[in-house]
Chain A
Amino acid sequence: MRQLRIISLLFISNICLGQAPGYMGKKFMFGVSGCYSPTYSNLLIFDRTTVNYVGEEINRFLAPLRLGGGMKYVISENRTLQFDIYYQQIGVSTSSKNSSSYNNDPDGVTKGNPFKYSRASFVTYSFGLTQSVATAPVGRYFGSNVVLILADVESIDTDNNVYKTGNAMDFGLNSEYGIRRVFKDKIVLETGLNISIYFRGVAGFVTKESNDAAADRMISKALFANFINNFCTLKLGIYYLL
């Protein structure tokens, strides 16, 4: 704990020293951003990812949209520290043609599985650093973030009216590349490409959260879907410069 305090102190003092020029002296910005992965990619891998938890089809173009907000602080000539929180909700099919051998079910996973679809909500916390080619925050940039994901999954057996929930945590790394422009000395527009890898999402099929196989399957599918959805996304952010 003491070490953490020292590290925090060093970190804060570095920021407070004010050695960063920022944009015309402005270093702090906050705003909203969104990440979007085209549905087309999902369709290639999962044929029925764009359904809600009762099996109804939902808007394919809106499903992979992750919305959130965050703040950034310019800490040196070219570096910006950033913290973002995102929220995303997707429909996940727990049946899959590709995973027919799952649970040693020779006739297919869905047979006898009442929880065919689930709804997964993800809250993503992202913390990282970006490096600008020009003086931060303007111009092209590339950066890396560490990501913490909290997933809540719920499903319903409509025939028996049984409700099932589960939650899980995932970690990941994210790298981003993009360009930032400043308009009217106040508004920062950020566009970029994000590539993320979520550790448990990659190994989603072997997740074991509880003794409930159906819940585990739900969570695994959700984490994997989240990984696929956010592996490569386009980012758009609008921030206010203070």
Chain B
Amino acid sequence: MNKFILAILLIITVYVSAQTEHSRLTNLGEIPEDFFRYKDISQIKYDELDIVKSRREKKLFDNFQIENNDHLYRLLHSGFILYSGPIFEYVNQVADKVLSNDKSLRGNVKVYICLSGAVNAFALNSGNIFINIGLIAHLENEAQLAYILTHEIAHYQRKHSFNRYKEYDKIDKHAKELKISDEDDLEFYINHYSREKESEADLLGYEMYKSSGYKKVEAIHALDQLNFAEYPFENRVINKSFFEEDYLKLPKSYFPDTASQIVIDEFEDDSLYTHPSTGKRKLSLAKIIDTNDNSGKEFIISKMEFERVRRACRFELSRVYIFDRDYIASLYNTFLLMQQDSNSLYLNNCLIKSLFLLQSCVNNKNISKLIRNRKKVKGETQKIQYFLSKLSIEEMNALCLKKAWVIHKKFPSNEEITAYTLEITKQFEENVSNNLSYFKTSNEYNDSIIASFYITDSTGSAKKLYRGSKTERKKIVKKGSFANYAMSDYLGNVEFVETFNDLSKSIKLTNKVEEETEEDIVEAKPKEKRKKDEVKTDIKRIDNFIIVDLFNMKIDERKKNVIRYVASNNKKQEIFNIINTCAQKNNINPIYLNAESLTKGDVDKFNDRSLIEFWLTEKENNNLIKEKINIDYTLLQELKKKYSTKYVGVISCIGVVLKKDYSDFLYSLFYSIAYPPLFLAFGYEYIMPSTACYINFTIYDIENGKTAFVKSKIYDTNDNEDLIKAEFYNIFFQLAKK
């Protein structure tokens, strides 16, 4: 009896813990040895016995493993990799299961989780396999995950990564015979080779998979999931009611009842892809699988665990999509998850963020860049795209304002939601109205009034959808806007009214200051033009800041392998030492979170770095809007307190040896004969290699997302130690004297 009660209690505990609030996926425990092994990229050697057959191949293999080690090291420290936690552990348990008969192979294979929304997994020659959370979110059961793993293990076993590299070299060498004129032709041949290897991995992977005890037919079902790689994990009907609230009723014409069906062409032309079409892959598998054989299990480790892991991945996707600037995907993903967890703080947080970012896009008139051609978008997300294309600036701002305040009301004490609510309100006031009288009172509202505003005018002049189109769009005549009623029920809310009025005053003040300084800005412009290489912003002295990334690369355009990996790797340590010396000389104490300075026990630093990397990646990719609030607001605020600094620095140094241009050689010769001293000068120019060096030093303010300091310059000299020392000393000198 006691055992029975304990079992029930255990189940309840597991269930309750499974349904707990999701939070950002991070790592726990010591950083694995793998993350440091590849620091010296020339030291790690792979087993080459089976694949290297000639001296040329040996040279190729050496180059390959250096490149591979470099990529692997960068990837492991990119901030997008999970080496611990429930997802990592579960996936590794499945890997243990499928390789239970081959312990030595299991010892060589290391599976990591990649925080990417792409439905993909990949294997490297070093035995590192990466499974994206986007892929796990799409899978139906553990057996499918097991098959994906065996497929990737097969890639590793057959050294496909190196073979592809070798093939690339071979095709490049025979480019003339194969009539390859450009990169596209080369890709065509390589893709053909890749498809062959994918098919080989499918079959070899299945050989491993079939003995693992999982349901055989799930191997084919796993491939089915790849058909929907471009779509959300589910295609659930979304209605306008998701966006509606009390007094916020949307016109019917803004939200279509149906969306285009998702039609999958399993046998599409795959000549431009690295993978064969799913139809072909399924057919080749079907030849060796008895589709009526239902033996084996869908779950061996645990169904509950699988669902818990998949749920975590799906939740994380809402966040990942935001960082990938796919706000519509994030919105729809959040909608799907909210069907079960509508009160989830995490999901509401994601919802308010994606709404804020969409609002910013609309206000910056960039929303069209997010909306793809409706004919190409299938499924329910098409409705959101259509809806967004219909909304005016006024309507979008009102919609976001209402949703933000509703979410804020649900979670009044949440700092991040409050911050976003404030920003959304501010944007509304800046772009629509900063007067509360804009909103009509609730007495003036009735459900039919909104419908009466948006009447399709059949008598009015019709417009063609686009030039040459035969279909015509019916003109919608607006006699009012739902925006005016959106906040009717909040006019009595003291917090809303006070916040709105306070922001209104501050906006008026800001405008006044902007008007006064307008002349100064115009005068300052020529100065900015003159110093186009270098942009500085006014900051006070910076005593410390976080160095999150140190990027170094040496490029030699004259060589076949343009990137000099080993030299870059060695130079990185030299630059790191220079930075340290220069900082010390100027009494600045940087906090090093870069990969090179981490040790095994620095898991907190590793997670913090991951957080900043996410933020920076979004920031660098985001050319649509300059948001005034950070996406990971709360986490970054905590980071600021933890390190007692609000500055984050990113350092890059690239040295390039350029190809010589001999087009002016005859002129130089002529001038040299005419005036001999020039002979030495021109001789020097032609004998010595042309070089360039690019140095970038950027410090961001994590409080407001702005760039606090930038020095970005290209020098027409080599990346010599003295140049780097002088430039970095100068940078720290400038930071210290402010």
A positions within 8 Å CB-CB of B: 19, 21, 23-25, 37-38, 40-41, 44, 77, 133-135, 138-140, 179, 181-183, 185, 193, 232-234
Contacts and interface: CB of A to CB of B under 8 A. Distances in A.
B163 interface: no
A134 to B, nearest CB: 5
B730 A77 contact: yes
A105 B713 CA distance: 63
B729 A21 contact: yes
B677 A233 contact: yes
22 contacts: A19-B737, A23-B722, A24-B581, A24-B585, A24-B729, A25-B585, A25-B729, A38-B677, A38-B680, A44-B676, A77-B730, A133-B716, A134-B713, A134-B715, A138-B723, A140-B716, A140-B717, A181-B722, A183-B722, A193-B681, A232-B675, A233-B677
B675 A138 contact: no
A200 B408 CA distance: 84
Given A41-B675, A140-B716, A24 B726 contact: yes
Given A134-B715, A139-B717, A23 B725 contact: yes
B677 A182 contact: no
A21 B680 contact: no
Which of A135, A181, A193 is most buried by chain B, counting CB atoms within 10 A of its CB?
A135
B728 to A, nearest CB: 9
Interface residues of B, number: 24
A232 B678 CA distance: 8
Contact of A23 (B680, B713, B720, B726): B726
Interface of B: 581-582, 585, 675-678, 680-681, 713, 715-717, 720, 722-723, 725-727, 729-730, 733-734, 737
Contacts of A138: 722-723, 725-726
Given A140-B715, A234-B677, 11 more contacts: A21-B729, A21-B733, A24-B581, A25-B585, A41-B675, A44-B676, A134-B723, A134-B727, A139-B723, A193-B681, A233-B677
A139 B715 CA distance: 8
A179 B716 CA distance: 10
Contacts of B726: 21, 23-24, 134-135, 138-139, 182
* The 10 A-B residue pairs with the shortest CB-CB distance in the complex, in nearest-first order: A21-B733, A182-B722, A138-B726, A135-B730, A135-B726, A232-B677, A21-B730, A40-B676, A24-B729, A138-B722
Nearest to A78: B730
Contacts of A23: 722, 725-726, 729
A151 to B, nearest CB: 22
A231 to B, nearest CB: 8
B716 A37 contact: no
B729 to A, nearest CB: 5
B598 to A, nearest CB: 28
A38 B722 CA distance: 31
A179 B718 CA distance: 11
A157 B98 CA distance: 107
Contacts of B581: 24
A64 to B, nearest CB: 10
Contacts of B681: 193, 234
A38 B725 CA distance: 35
Nearest to B677: A232
Given A38-B677, A41-B677, A183-B722, A135 B729 contact: yes
B677 A134 contact: no
A193 B676 CA distance: 13
A27 to B, nearest CB: 11
A133 B716 CA distance: 8
Nearest to B729: A24
Contact of B727 (A37, A135, A140, A234): A135
Nearest to B678: A232
Nearest to B715: A134
Contacts of B582: 24
A19 B734 CA distance: 9
Contacts of B723: 134, 138-139
A80 B491 CA distance: 66
A37 B677 CA distance: 7
A57 B582 CA distance: 55
B685 to A, nearest CB: 11
Contacts of A185: 725
Contacts of A139: 715, 717, 723, 726
B738 to A, nearest CB: 12
A19 B89 CA distance: 56
Contacts of A140: 715-717
A135 B726 CA distance: 6
A105 to B, nearest CB: 31
A179 B715 CA distance: 12
A166 to B, nearest CB: 29
Contacts of B722: 23, 138, 181-183
Contacts of A19: 737
A88 B676 CA distance: 21
A24 B586 CA distance: 10
Contact of B676 (A25, A38, A134): A38
Contacts of A234: 677, 680-681
A38 to B, nearest CB: 6
Contacts of A40: 676
B725 A24 contact: yes
Which of B722, B729, B734 is most buried by chain A, counting CB atoms within 10 A of its CB?
B722
Contacts of A135: 726-727, 729-730
Contacts of B677: 37-38, 41, 193, 232-234
Nearest to A193: B681
Contacts of A24: 581-582, 585, 725-726, 729
A130 to B, nearest CB: 15
Contacts of A193: 677, 681
A54 B677 CA distance: 28
Nearest to A20: B733
A172 B720 CA distance: 35
Nearest to B533: A133
Nearest to B734: A21
B651 to A, nearest CB: 16
B534 to A, nearest CB: 10
B717 A41 contact: no
A134 B713 CA distance: 9
A140 B688 CA distance: 15
Nearest to A177: B681
Contacts of A37: 677
A21 B736 CA distance: 11
A21 B735 CA distance: 11
A41 B673 CA distance: 10
Nearest to A188: B722
Given A135-B730, A182-B726, A41 B676 contact: yes
A157 B679 CA distance: 39
Nearest to A231: B677
Nearest to A233: B677
A38 B713 CA distance: 36
B715 to A, nearest CB: 5
A179 to B, nearest CB: 7
A233 B675 CA distance: 12
Contacts of B733: 21, 25
A218 B715 CA distance: 48
